[in-house]
Structure formats: C-alpha cells, structure tokens
Amino acid sequence: MEFLSWGSDPWGQEVLIRISWNLLYLAAGSGILFVIAHSMYLAWFVPQRKYGLFEQESDSIQTANVPERVARHSVASRLFHWVMAVTMLVLLFTGFLPVIGVQFAWVTIHWVAGVVLTLSIVFHIIHSTFWMDLWTMWISGRDITEAINRFKRSLGQTAPAPRKHAKYPLENRLYHHAILVTGGMVICTGILMMFRIETPLWARDPYLFTPQTWGMIYVLHGLSAVSLVTLIIAHIYFGLRPEKRFLTWSMINGWIGRDHFVEHHDPNQWNPTQHPESQSNNAPSTQAPESR
C-alpha cells in the first residue's frame, strides 16, 4: 500500500505532492474496526453488572450536598463545541468527498469553514485561559495507574480500587490532547495552503514556498485530516453509547443529574455546583467559576 504520492517539479525533480488516498480508507476502516472491537469487548468480555470499578460509594453526607442538576458546561463552552463539531464535519466532507468521486464546488466552502474553525479555537483558548481551570485537563501518573486498575477490574481481575473520576475522565482528557495536536496541525497547514488560492484575506502567492516545502505542508495537512476521521468516528460512537449518553446531553443542556454524578464522579476532585437554570428565584446561587 502506498502512503505518499510523488510528482515532478518544473525542473524535473521528484517531490512530495500529498498523502496517498489509501490512508483515507485506512483511517476510516480503523475507526470502524475500533467501534466493532469495543462493542464486542463490552458485550462479551466485560461482566454485565456493576463490577466495582471504583472505591466505595460516596457517603450520605456527600450525596446530600450534590445538587439535583450539576452544572457541567457553560453556554460558551457548548457553543464552541458545536461550532467546532459542525465546521470539522464540513471540512472533512468537503475535503474528502471529491476524493471518492463526489464532485462539487468545494474549495470556498472548505476554506471558509477552516476560518470559522480557527476563530472558534482562538476563542476557546482565550476562554479556557481566563475563565476556566486549565488544570482539569492535566494528566498525572496516578491517572494512568488508576485507568489500568479500572481495566483490570472490568475484566474481573484483582486490582486496587481507583477513585471515581474528576470532572473529566482520563479518556476525555486523552482525546482532548489528541484533537489538540491533530486539529492544531490541520489548522496551521490549512492557513498556509490558503496562500495558493484566491481569498479576500490576502494576496495569492503560490511561490511562497518551494515545491518540496509545499509537498511537506500538504502531507502534514493530509495526515492530520485522516487522523481526524478516525478520532471523530470514535467520538461519535462514544457519544451515542447508552452509558455515555448523559455526557452528550450535558453538552446540549449544560448539566448532569445527581445520580450520574454520584455514580461516576468524586466530589473531592470536582466540586458539584447547581446548574443556574435549576435554581429557584429565592435560592442563593451556588455557581462557582467554571472548571472547564
């Protein structure tokens, strides 16, 4: 299987052009295989019971202090998420549909969606830096150890009981970092590639880089884009799974219920605050600064 495509520059030298489109099919196939394998793992290998992944249940005092609706995502965070989701899907469809033979005027739609995605990322960086707790995305050695213990216990093996999750489980933080790398790469290379087309933003300059450098930019853009195909397939799959669906709803309505909080989260790692829309007019506000 070829992974890179080569061509000749005006001087007859062999240069990189882009990735081979075989990688697109490989990425899509990998995402689909992951979905099948994970579904089989849960259906056949994980005991169909509450298999004690965590420490003992929260005591009654902690549970009593948990609001009925726990605030999880602010309006700004939800708007950013759905703008990013829509623009990423538009970028993938406009970028890859012509590859599989669906021809249409895709270039303008593609770069406009890329600009919207870039602006939304800039907004998120500012918002998360000044209004959110960046440390909620930090991954420690203990997080890795506890994830291994959860996996062992899910298979019925003996392992120390880990803590319940903080606001964001380890898998969410790992996915966030994967998107950070691939999304950052696709945006940076995409901005450079816009110099090769006519846009109102700046003058077209296809000679800004040498053919060899343009080839590397196209390869990096393609690699990050096909990686996003696999990541987005996995993300949609987990968002639709019954046991994860409450998290998907929280990205719509901004909160999770008390039962889900008590089952999955540790109040010592994530202080639960009441969702603003569920507060009575006379009740004092318990809303704390957003912790991402």
Structural domain count of the chain: 1
Distance from chain centroid for Cα 262: 25
Q: What distances in angstroms separate CA 239 from CA 38, 198, 224, 251, one per listed residue?
A: 14, 38, 22, 10
> Containing domain of residue 248, as a range?
19-46+76-278
Output the pTM of the full model: 0.87
Residue 235 in domain: yes
Residue 228 in domain: yes
Determine which helix (DSSP H) or strand (DSSP E) holds 256, and give its type and residue range.
Answer: strand 255-257
Residue 167 in domain: yes
Specify the CATH number for the domain of residue 211. Answer: 1.20.950.20
Residue 8 in domain: no
Residue 194 in domain: yes
Per-residue pLDDT in tens (0 to 9) along the chain, 292 residues: 678 999 887 778 888 899 999 999 999 999 999 999 999 988 887 665 444 455 545 555 567 689 999 999 999 999 999 999 999 999 999 999 999 999 999 999 999 999 999 999 999 999 999 999 888 899 999 999 999 998 888 777 888 888 899 999 999 999 999 999 999 999 999 999 999 999 999 999 999 999 999 999 999 999 999 999 999 999 999 999 999 999 999 999 999 999 999 999 999 899 999 988 765 444 444 444 454 4
Helix axis angle, 75-96 to 245-253, nearest 10°:
110
Residue 36 in domain: yes
Residue 35 in domain: yes
Alpha helices in 97-202 (DSSP H): 107-131, 141-154, 170-193
